Amino acid sequence: MLMRTDPFRDLDRLAQQLMGPGTWSRPATMAMDAYREGDEYVVAFDLPGVSPEAIDIDVERNMLTVKAERRPMAKTDNVQMELSERPLGAFSRQIVLADTLDTEHIKADYEAGVLTLRIPIAERAKPRKITIGGGSDRKQISG
C-alpha cells in the first residue's frame, strides 16, 4: 500500500556517512520497515536516543512526513568526549501513502527507540458483498 520506493536510499546513506550529521535544511534519513498486519499497515522507524518530544509526524493528503532530532547529551565542564559515533542532528522521512489507507486514524507509539505507526486500511478499500436485486432469486457476489 506504500506508493513509492526510493532506489537511491543506499547511495543517500553512504553520502550521509561521509558528510556528517543531518541539519534541518539537509536532514538525514532514518531506517524503516513497512509491512501489512491484518487490516492495517505498520511502519516502524529506528530513532534510538531521540526524545519523544523531538519527533514530529505530519500527514498532508497522502504524504506522511516524520521528522526527528537527536540532540547531544548534556555535558558538564568535567566531561571530555573520547569517542562519538552516534549521529546527531535532524532526521526526516517522507512516504506517499495509497488512497486505500485511512490517514485520519493513524496511531503512533514510541518504545525502545522505535517509532511505530499503524495505518488502517480504509473501509471503502476492503472487499465486500453486493446483493443483486430483481426477480424472485436474490444472489450475492463478491465485489
Query: Does the CA dihedral 62-54-92-108 come out positive or negative?
Result: negative
The predicted pLDDT at position 15 comes to 59
Domains of the chain, by residue range, sit at 9-14+23-72+87-142
Quote the pLDDT of residue 1: 52
Sheet with strand 32-37: strands edge to edge:
32-37, 40-46, 114-120, 107-111
**pLDDT tens digit string along 71-89?**
877 777 888 878 777 778 8
SS3 letters across 1-55: CECCCCCCHHHHHHHHHHHCCCCCCCCECCCEEEEEECCEEEEEEECCCCCHHHE
Look at strands 114-120 and 129-132 and give their pairing. unpaired
Give the chain's mean pLDDT: 81
**In 3D, which of 96, 102, 127 has the Cα closest to residue 3?**
96
CATH class in words for 9-14+23-72+87-142: mainly beta
Dihedral sign from CA coordinates of 129, 2, 63, 89:
positive
Question: Tens digit of pLDDT for each residue in 105-133?
Answer: 999 999 999 999 999 998 776 677 788 88
Q: How confident is the model at residue 6 (pLDDT cuts 50, 70, 90)?
A: low
- Which phi and psi angles does 54 have, rounded to 5°? -95, 15
Q: How confident is the model at residue 53 (pLDDT cuts 50, 70, 90)?
A: very high
The cell for 107 is 496511531
